[in-house]
């Protein structure tokens, strides 16, 4: 009786141990670096970002000039003029904050552009990884770049080149 329980326990442990070793790594940075569409998308986003930042900088400069002008002339202004200038400065700063939020906020143009340009690439990579994992019987595929707790990993379990080959970007 004891022997049969021990044998069953050992078989279960061996099965779980074997299953726990079914994993692989990918290096997402390496994969993305080898996909021309990713580089193109990054360039488009960088160009848009520079354009939007230029608009923001121009508006910020206007607000700064208005404030400096107000500071120089505050002593010569009537209360009505002072209030009007203060309101204009506050309105300009509000406009600046709204423009920043419009372009770079959580629901901003940059986020939408990133979603539009990067999502298809990410989906393609995900599908390739999923197909390879299914074919090889892998239970887990971890991204080396984002898995900070990995201290060492054998290059033998890195399937990044297989993913690139599946996507048509073989070395």
Categorize the per-residue pLDDT at 151 as very low, low, confident or very high, splitting at 50, 70 and 90.
Answer: low
* The domain made up of 18-167 is a member of CATH 3.40.50.1980: no
pLDDT digits (tens, 9 = 90+) for 39-76: 999 999 999 999 999 999 999 999 999 999 999 998 99
State the chain's mean pLDDT as an integer. Answer: 86
* Amino acid 8: pLDDT: 41
Cα dihedral 128, 131, 137, 140 sign: positive
The radius of gyration of the chain's CA atoms, rounded to the nearest angstrom, is: 29
d(CA 45, CA 116): 11
Asked if residue 17 has pLDDT above 60, the reply is no
* Amino acid 19: pLDDT: 47
Could you tell me the residue ranges of all domains in the chain? 18-167
**Which is more confident, 138 or 87?**
87
Global pTM reads 0.69
Categorize the per-residue pLDDT at 35 as very low, low, confident or very high, splitting at 50, 70 and 90.
Answer: very high
């Amino acid at each position: 009786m004891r022997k049969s329980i021990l044998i069953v326990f050992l078989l279960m442990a061996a099965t779980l141990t074997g299953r726990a070793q079914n994993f692989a790594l990918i290096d997402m940075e390496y994969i993305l670096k080898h996909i021309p569409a990713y580089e193109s998308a990054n360039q488009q986003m960088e160009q848009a970002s520079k354009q939007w930042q230029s608009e923001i900088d121009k508006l910020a400069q206007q607000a700064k000039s208005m404030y400096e002008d107000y500071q120089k002339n505050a002593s010569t202004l009537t209360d009505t003029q002072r209030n009007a200038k203060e309101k204009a400065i506050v309105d300009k700063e509000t406009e600046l904050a709204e423009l920043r939020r419009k372009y770079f906020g959580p629901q901003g143009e940059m986020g939408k552009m990133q979603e539009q340009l990067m999502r298809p690439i990410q989906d393609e990579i995900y599908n390739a990884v999923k197909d390879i994992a299914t074919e090889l019987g892998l239970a887990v595929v971890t991204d080396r770049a984002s898995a900070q707790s990995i201290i060492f990993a054998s290059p033998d379990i890195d399937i990044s080149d297989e993913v690139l080959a599946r996507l048509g970007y073989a070395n």
